[in-house]
Amino acid sequence: MSLPSINLYNQLAKHKLFKKSVNFKLDRIKLVLKKLGNPEKKLKNVINIIGSDGKYSLLTSLKYFLEADNRASSAYISPSLIDIKERFWVGNRYLTHSEIKKTIKIIERQEVPLTIFEALTVIFLINASLRNNEFNLIEAGALFAKDSTNVFDFPLIQAVVNINKQHLNFLKKKTLNEVIFQKVGFLSNFTKIYVGKQKKKTLTKIKHYLKKNNSEKIYSNQWKLLKINNFYYYKDKETKIKLNSKYIHSEGLLENLCMAIKISLDLKINKKIIEKTVPQIKFPGRVQYLNKGKIKKMINKNEKIILDGAHSLVAAKNLAKYLKTIKGPKYAIWGMIKNKEPFKFIKQFKGVFEEVVTVPASNKENSISNYLLMNSAKKNNLSVSSAKNVDQAIKYISSKQKKTIVILGSLYLVGSVLDNN
């Protein structure tokens, strides 16, 4: 994070009203919102985005399409890559640090203890309610049943991306079934629910929990991602759109783009607008090629650097599948934060990387140690070494040999690379 952003986040983290711990209850945020005159009720056309993997890419794609159609949107995004203000999009810009500080003071005056995520949600809701934008895109946190983003009575759309075991650590019952229940068992009635591509068993459970929900349900069998002669296409019964993008590489991201296209078409956004917009869409820190900056200058001209904040098993599989299409040797710079599954994660890259170099993902408190990461790699028969930081790792890996260097495992790691680049 940039220095002002770090200071702002630390201000929240150290504040006596805001707790770093995770505590899933809705009573605190509902009390604050009531005291503030319920700003969430002023938001038009709310689109809740729920799931384990793909929330950001779906939200970002929708934001691009809506704005290309001159429909102003606000967006609440989590987490930020570099600066805390990236969480708060309000029509044509991010909130400024000054606006965030002013909003924190408003929340302070309510004198209700909140978690940091709840405080961040309230910051967004207050500012979005002042904008009167036509759409409001809201990315949910780890779960949804008692998530601070679950405060809207009648959202326009609830979009469910891929659900997997990523958030088991937040649950007493540590099963995929419980994750699915927490994410879709509490969706609103009388709305429109889109369900993206899922594993067969997961989809069966989702349909079970949505059986009594009287919303209109649109499942991913109503559209698909096609690959024809090395080109990707969106396809449904009526429409076919070429996904002409030099920025979006993995099939997982393309699946989320297709879901966004389906929703956008249903919102009556013209096919031609979508076709013109697709080449502009970027997902920073998600299979992102680094083409300039300090770190790019550190490597040889024959080398490429890819950044990917993938930290779940599903994201790892999608990234590994893409990397296998790239010719030549590949090296990894790998860091992860705690509460992740390093052994299962790095297992997906067996046969992909020549060598893995482990680094801290963020501060020592939140990072999985180099020792544990190295053990996970060794147990998967991967060649592994460690470095104090990314710069040291790049100096160790870089040579005149043509290769691809992949920095992966954490959005915090990728964000720090982009911030220092």
CATH number for 408:
3.90.190.20
Residues 138 and 161 placed together within one structural domain of the fold = yes
Please indicate whether residue 302 or residue 271 has the higher confidence score (pLDDT): 271
Q: What values do phi and psi take at 69, rounded to 5? A: -95, 15
**Last residue of one domain, picked from the residues 280, 298, 313:** 280
Residues 202 and 345 placed together within one structural domain of the fold = no
Nearest to 330 by CA among 363, 303, 300: 303
Residues 268 and 295 placed together within one structural domain of the fold = no
Residues 195 and 301 placed together within one structural domain of the fold = no
CA distance 350 to 323: 12
pLDDT of 282 above 90 = yes
**Which range marks the domain in which residue 316 is found?**
288-420
Domain total for the chain? 2
DSSP assignment letter at 296: H
Identify the residue whose tokens are 């190295």.
374
Joined together, the tokens standing for residue 175 give: 């099963």
* Per-residue model confidence (pLDDT) at position 167: 73
* Per-residue model confidence (pLDDT) at position 80: 87
**Last residue of one domain, picked from the residues 280, 296, 313:** 280
Residues 399 and 415 placed together within one structural domain of the fold = yes
Residues 257 and 116 placed together within one structural domain of the fold = yes
**Last residue of one domain, picked from the residues 280, 314, 349:** 280
Q: What values do phi and psi take at 313, rounded to 5? A: -65, -45
Residues 244 and 302 placed together within one structural domain of the fold = no
Instruction: Read off the CATH number of the domain in which 89 is found.
Output: 3.40.1190.10
Residues 159 and 181 placed together within one structural domain of the fold = yes
Residues 201 and 269 placed together within one structural domain of the fold = yes
Helices assigned H by DSSP within 20-142: 27-35, 55-68, 97-108, 116-129
Residues 300 and 158 placed together within one structural domain of the fold = no
Mean pLDDT for the stretch of residues 354-374: 91
pLDDT of 4 above 70 = no
* Per-residue model confidence (pLDDT) at position 15: 78
